[in-house]
Structure 1
Amino acid sequence: MDRRASWDEYFMNIARVVATRATCDRKHVGAVLVRDKTILSTGYNGSIRGLPHCSEVGHMMEDGHCVATVHAEANAIIQAAKNGVAIEGATIYTTASPCWPCFKLIANSGCRRIVFGEFYRDSRVFDFAKQLGIELVELKVPEKPDLVPTDTGPARPVVDRS
């Protein structure tokens, strides 16, 4: 029998599934906000709501980065706020370590723990997380090919089978 996933592995795998919704084809990132083993909010990197996706119209590049998208962590925080969900004391699971602007949002939102899958660009978050008492955890979860089906086809309504 396979080993049962830890809670950290479980929520990181959910973040990886959330990342499959990303609309920037340069990098797919997913984030999940969790408190007391309960998902509070999710987010993925994508264009501003109502604007075309980078994958459709191209990238808005500045200093080697596409700046057209809202990052996964920011979108998870925004969705929690839009839905009136307090995230004080939460853990955020993100498939890539937060950039500096996202780290500042995470810190000011009251999250106490950041679990990330891969390091991405900005090491400032390590020093400031320590100063702020925010726990940083790097978690490498092995790929499981059957975790995210690549093509399941469109959803179809269930037909009454009686």
Structure 2
Amino acid sequence: MSHRRPTWDEYFVEMARLAATRATCPRRRVGAVLVRDARVIATGYNGAVRGAPHCDDVGCLLDNGHCKRTVHAELNALLQCALNGVSSRGSTLYTTDFPCVDCAKALVQAGVERVIYLADYPDPNSAGVLRAGGVELYRAVPVEEPPGDAEAAATRVVLDDGDLPFARFVPARAGYRLVRDPRGA
């Protein structure tokens, strides 16, 4: 079987998953990658403020069920852009988890146009903020390898934008199917 290059979306989703391995809050290990024109402009992961102890080392600082010690992955990525003088306007955020409402507000204000996420987040207000800000939402759904001959194992991967879906065949072993989230713009 020949080597299959991942699509750009698959590549950046995997980068977000890798960034999540650096997270230092055991309650939610999230990774994020900001991309513009198929180039990474910043990455982020859940972790304590620079110089402060990590949740992994001293425990979480909980308030109303949320860890207050942690700067979220999405915000860390936006702050990296700010520190390095890089605009996030027109970018796509790839993240392991759907943004919380505070991160959603920051993403809208920073000009992020598209969010691709793996896991949903239980805050209905987040999607409303992103939709109001004109942000497109897609869920990256892992494609399972079909049974049978590995050479013949190909799966249709579809980015369905509602009007003009595009599709191509890719090996199923490492793919994601992007599904338009109707909660977005």
Bin for the TM-score computed over the shorter chain: 0.7 to 0.9
User: Which of 57-66 and 93-102 deviates more?
Assistant: 57-66
Aligned-partner Cα distance in 2 for 1:117–1:57:
28
Q: Which letter maps to 2:74?
A: E
Aligned-partner Cα distance in 1 for 2:11–2:132:
28
Aligned residues: 144
Number of the residue aligned with 1:53: 54
**Is the contact between residue 44 and residue 76 of structure 2 (CA under 8 Å) also seen in structure 1?**
yes
Q: CA deviation at 1:133?
A: 1.7
Aligned-partner Cα distance in 2 for 1:6–1:123:
30
Number of the residue aligned with 2:31: 30
Aligned-partner Cα distance in 1 for 2:6–2:126:
27
Aligned-partner Cα distance in 1 for 2:93–2:15:
12
Number of the residue aligned with 1:108: 109
Number of the residue aligned with 1:86: 87
SS of residue paired to 1:12: helix
Identity %: 47
Aligned-partner Cα distance in 2 for 1:9–1:120:
21
Number of the residue aligned with 2:131: 130
Which 4+ stretches in 1 moved above 4 angstroms? none
Number of the residue aligned with 2:163: none
Structure 1's unaligned 5+ residue stretches are 148-162
Q: CA deviation at 1:72?
A: 0.1
SS of residue paired to 1:139: strand
Q: Which letter maps to 1:10?
A: Y
Aligned-partner Cα distance in 2 for 1:97–1:122:
9
Q: CA deviation at 1:3?
A: 3.9
Q: CA deviation at 1:2?
A: 5.0
